[in-house]
């Protein structure tokens, strides 16, 4: 037993790759066999990650979820700010500027609204629940944009870990509702053409939510929605810790 935990601890980052990989396999199987592909495997993996962090936190009494377990410290490195930002920047490589221009003005309007409106809503809800400092309000508002924008913003402006966890949970919850709800409201909101799919992607933002929701509605719409959705996280990461944070701070006068 000590031999095993020694090899796991000595290769912390490698252990993290293996652990997350296994978690992704399990999630993929759950997605396929229990939800029949309705909920994306990645969304399930994130939820399982949060659940494990909950039990890890209970078991260790620490603040860093499963990363406080000696054998799983590598999770802290793998999911830390350094590699996270590195991987998010890498996704920009997939953005095709020529295609993006076709989305035109309406896509840009949807992107702007999709960032600002959920943010305002998130801030208002956070304020209603008694948060008063600009950092927490902004981070929870950013979490209502996507589960990436939330933690990136929180880390940038120095929010506390519980608030960052709340913002992730909010974003993940949003992604899940988008995935499950989209097929049911598709007809009502006119989601049957490339343009509305782009508007949808820009407004909803969460890439896993948009691609999962559109896949369950009409597979052919997926690339159009994902195209604007990929811009969403970048835009959110740009404006949430800057313009939106300053706006919140100016309004509450902190």
Touching other proteins, residues 111-170 (CB under 8 A) = 113-114, 117-118, 121-122, 125-126, 129, 140, 143-145, 147-148, 151-152, 156-158, 161-162, 164-166, 168-170
Q: What is the rounded CA–CA span in Å between residue 42 and residue 175?
A: 10
Q: Helical H runs in 92-193?
A: 97-128, 134-143, 149-157, 161-185
Q: Which residues of 102-112 are buried (b: 16+ CB within 10 A; e: fewer)?
A: ebeeebeebbe
194 belongs to the binding site for other proteins (CB under 8 A): yes
Nearer to other proteins, 9 or 177 (CB): 177
Among 29, 34, 51, 251, binds other proteins (CB under 8 A): 51
Nearer to other proteins, 3 or 188 (CB): 188
Minimum CB distance to other proteins, residue 71 (Å): 13
Q: In terms of C-beta density within 10 A (0-12 exposed, 13-18 middle, 19 or more buried), how is residue 67 classed?
A: buried
Among 103, 221, 226, 227, binds other proteins (CB under 8 A): 221
Nearer to other proteins, 3 or 42 (CB): 42
Minimum CB distance to other proteins, residue 39 (Å): 14
57 belongs to the binding site for other proteins (CB under 8 A): yes
212 belongs to the binding site for other proteins (CB under 8 A): no
Among 8, 46, 103, 226, binds other proteins (CB under 8 A): 46
Nearer to other proteins, 3 or 61 (CB): 61
Map the footprint of other proteins across residues 5-24, applying CB under 8 A: 16-17, 20-21, 23-24
Minimum CB distance to other proteins, residue 34 (Å): 18
Nearer to other proteins, 185 or 252 (CB): 185
Nearest to 125 by CA among 142, 112, 148: 142
User: What does the block give as tokens for 166?
Assistant: 């709340």
Q: What is the rounded CA–CA span in Å between residue 44 and residue 154?
A: 23
Q: In terms of C-beta density within 10 A (0-12 exposed, 13-18 middle, 19 or more buried), how is residue 188 classed?
A: exposed
What sign does the dihedral 197-201-207-213 (CA atoms) show?
negative
Contact flags string 64-103 toward other proteins, x per CB under 8 A: xxxx-------xx-xxx--xxxxxxxxxxxxx-x------
Q: Which residues of 160-177 are buried (b: 16+ CB within 10 A; e: fewer)?
A: eeebbbbbbbbbbebbbe
244 belongs to the binding site for other proteins (CB under 8 A): no
């Amino acid at each position: 037993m000590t031999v095993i935990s020694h090899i796991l601890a000595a290769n912390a980052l490698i252990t993290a790759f293996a652990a997350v990989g296994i978690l992704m396999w399990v999630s993929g199987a759950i997605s396929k066999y229990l939800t029949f592909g309705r909920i994306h495997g990645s969304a399930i993996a994130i939820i399982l990650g949060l659940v494990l962090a909950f039990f890890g936190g209970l078991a260790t009494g620490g603040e860093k979820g499963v990363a406080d377990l000696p054998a799983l410290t590598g999770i802290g490195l793998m999911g830390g700010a350094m590699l996270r930002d590195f991987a998010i920047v890498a996704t920009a490589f997939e953005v095709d500027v020529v295609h993006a221009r076709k989305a035109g003005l309406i896509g840009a309007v949807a992107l702007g609204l999709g960032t600002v409106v959920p943010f305002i809503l998130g801030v208002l809800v956070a304020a209603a629940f008694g948060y008063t400092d600009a950092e927490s309000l902004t981070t929870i508002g950013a979490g209502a944009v996507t589960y990436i924008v939330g933690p990136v913003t929180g880390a940038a402006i120095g929010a506390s870990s519980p608030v960052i966890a709340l913002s992730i949970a909010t974003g993940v919850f949003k992604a899940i509702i988008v995935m499950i709800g989209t097929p049911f409201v598709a007809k009502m909101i006119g989601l049957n053409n490339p343009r509305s799919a782009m508007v949808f992607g820009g407004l909803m933002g969460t890439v896993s939510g948009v691609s999962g929701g559109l896949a369950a509605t009409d597979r052919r719409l997926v690339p159009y929605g994902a195209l604007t959705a990929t811009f969403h996280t970048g835009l959110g990461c740009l404006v949430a810790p800057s313009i939106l944070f300053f706006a919140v701070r100016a309004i509450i006068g902190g």
